[in-house]
Amino acid sequence: MKALILTGGAGRNLVPFSSTRPKAMTVVAGGSLMRRTLSHLREVGVTDVTVVIGQHGEKVTETFKDGHEIGLNLAYVEQQRPGGIADAILRARTRFIPGEYFILVYGDVVTSANPFHQALQSFNSFKAPIAGVCLPGPPTTRYGNVYLDGTRITRIVEKPTTTGLGNYVLAGVFVLPVEVFALVEKSSRDMEQVFAQLMRAPGLHASIWEEGWIDVEYPWDILAANRMVMDTWEEAQISRHAVIDGNVTFTGPVRIERGSVIKAGAVLAGPCYIGRNCYVGNNVLVRSYSSLGAASSIGYGVELKNCVLFGNSKIGRLSFVGDSVIGDNVDIGSGTMTINENMDHTPVAVSVRGEPVNSGLVKLGGFIGDDVKVGAGNTLAAGTVLPPGTSVPHHATVSRR
């Protein structure tokens, strides 16, 4: 079976990270969402994958190229302007052969285990269109509500009110007949109508997903997804090509990739991830749920806690980075503090598209875009967002932007 991944959405709520990459290229637990999706597809025997790319699509194509390296045949279709899911699907029409079924997956979804096993198992028992459904963590009106009769989907309410907060929602994983392209076209690119048509005939079956599921919409969702994936790790994995000094302490599932250097006195509490060719200086404390992308450099005496560094970043000595996400190629000067809570322990608000949005999280630090430089001795308020390329001088105190 072939697969179609949609990554063309603009992801405006995921600023500052979506300003320079598609959502699917954000990183959790040491790998991009895209890499996870692709390896899950490969695990269930998919070989041909079409990826719809939009803005910053080159981040996808340059990373995965023709897919040879990860054992897949990848083809790309461009969606120049964001035109919604229906538009994205139609663009890939010519890649699929009528009469077959294909897997459709949204690129911004993270699951704690491979969702395609179950979707295909459901498909094999029903031999009919399948939509993965799940119950999102805390009830929310963010997603369309699904109504079930057994596993048959009878109704999808696109804009739910607060009364239907307990419903199953579409999980962004489908097994659909290629005929669906014609339906999309006929229904003037309205997915609601497409699903309604499928429900009438031949029927749309739910495949209920009970493992972890996160749709990465807001920047703090990256931290939740990172945590969810790391919670599935059960053992430590340390590359034989990592260089580890004496007097380094590991506890729990610590993962260290080849070429990394861990200096004496460092303490690493799993689950945590140290990517390829990282440098972790003397007396660094890496607390659980920290993920360091490749070629990160952590100076002497730094404390990291529940944070994701995409990679190629430097954190100067004696800094604290907690409950924060750091983009690619960021340079944080020594002695920088992220503040990760409000004085009154109320949930931290984050500015999203100019509006403060309540994250619901009491502990939350900052979100620092690609290529940012933060001078030494700075203090970043809880909920800080620094757009890509920002330069903060030494000794400045930054309030929310």
Partner 1 sequence: MCGISGVASFHPIGDRLYEGVRHLEYRGYDSCGIAFVNDHHIEVRKDIGTVDEVDSKVHIRALTALVGIAHTRWATHGKVTRENAHPHQACHGEFAVVHNGIIANYKALREELQKIGHRFRSDTDTEIIAHLLEQRFKESGDIERAWVSALRALEGSYALAMITIHDPERIFCARHESPLIIGVGSESNYVGSDFNAFIDYTKSTVILEDGEYGIVSKDSYCVKSLRTGEVVDKDITIVPWDSELSRKGGYPHYMLKEIHEQPQAVRSALSISDDEIAAVADMMAAARRVHLLGVGTTYYVALLGQYLLASLADLDVPAVSSDEFRHLDKSDRESLVLAISQSGETYDTVMSLRHAKERGAKTAAIVNVMGSSIARMVDRVILQGSGPEVCVVSTKAALVQMILLARLALELGARRGALSAATRRAHEAALAALPGQIETILNEKSGLIRAAAYRHAHVQNWLFLGRGIYYPIALEAALKMKEVTYVHAEGMPGGFLKHGTLSLVDDKLYTLVFLPPPAAGELHAATMSSVEEVKARGGFVFGFTFDGADNIFDDRLVLAPAPDVTAPFLPLVCAQLLAYFTATALKRNVDKPRSLAKSVTVA
Give the interface segment with partner 1, choosing from 118-126, 184-192, 277-285, 330-338 (CB under 8 A): 118-126
The closest alpha carbon to 113, from 35, 6, 227, 210, belongs to 210
Establish if 379 lies at the interface with partner 1 (CB under 8 A): no
Burial (CB < 10 A; 0-12, 13-18, 19+), residue 62, is exposed
* Of the residues 59, 205, 227, 314, which one makes contact with partner 1 according to CB under 8 A: 205
- Looking at the Cβ atoms of 24 and 120, the one nearer to partner 1 is 120
* Of the residues 10, 70, 148, 236, which one makes contact with partner 1 according to CB under 8 A: 148
Please, what is the minimum distance in Å from the beta carbon of residue 118 to partner 1? 7
Question: What residue ranges in 2-95 does DSSP mark as E strands?
Answer: 2-6, 27-28, 31-32, 48-53, 73-78
Q: How many CB atoms lie within 10 A of CB 397?
A: 10
The alpha carbon of 128 is separated from its chain's Cα centroid by a whole number of angstroms, namely 29
Please, what is the minimum distance in Å from the beta carbon of residue 299 to partner 1? 37
3-state secondary structure of 263: coil
3-state secondary structure of 238: strand
| Total binding residues toward partner 1, as defined by CB under 8 A | 30
Establish if 50 lies at the interface with partner 1 (CB under 8 A): no
Task: Return the structure tokens found at 6.
Answer: 């949609």
* Of the residues 29, 130, 176, 278, which one makes contact with partner 1 according to CB under 8 A: 130
- Distance (Å, whole) CA 40 – CA 384: 34
Establish if 273 lies at the interface with partner 1 (CB under 8 A): no
- Distance (Å, whole) CA 190 – CA 315: 47
* Of the residues 34, 103, 206, 298, which one makes contact with partner 1 according to CB under 8 A: 206
Q: How many CB atoms lie within 10 A of CB 209?
A: 21
- Looking at the Cβ atoms of 205 and 263, the one nearer to partner 1 is 205
| H-type alpha helices, 327-391 | none
Give the interface segment with partner 1, choosing from 130-138, 221-229, 286-294, 364-372 (CB under 8 A): 130-138
Please, what is the minimum distance in Å from the beta carbon of residue 131 to partner 1? 9
Establish if 279 lies at the interface with partner 1 (CB under 8 A): no
- Looking at the Cβ atoms of 270 and 301, the one nearer to partner 1 is 270
Establish if 137 lies at the interface with partner 1 (CB under 8 A): yes
Please, what is the minimum distance in Å from the beta carbon of residue 114 to partner 1? 13
* Of the residues 62, 210, 235, 355, which one makes contact with partner 1 according to CB under 8 A: 210
* CA distances in angstroms from 344 to 159, 321, 341, listed in the order given: 34, 20, 8
Establish if 168 lies at the interface with partner 1 (CB under 8 A): yes
Helix-helix angle 115-126:33-43, to 10 degrees:
40
Contact 49, 74 (CB under 8 A): yes
Establish if 208 lies at the interface with partner 1 (CB under 8 A): yes
Residue numbers at the binding site for partner 1 (CB under 8 A): 118, 121-122, 125-126, 130, 135-139, 146-151, 163-168, 205-211
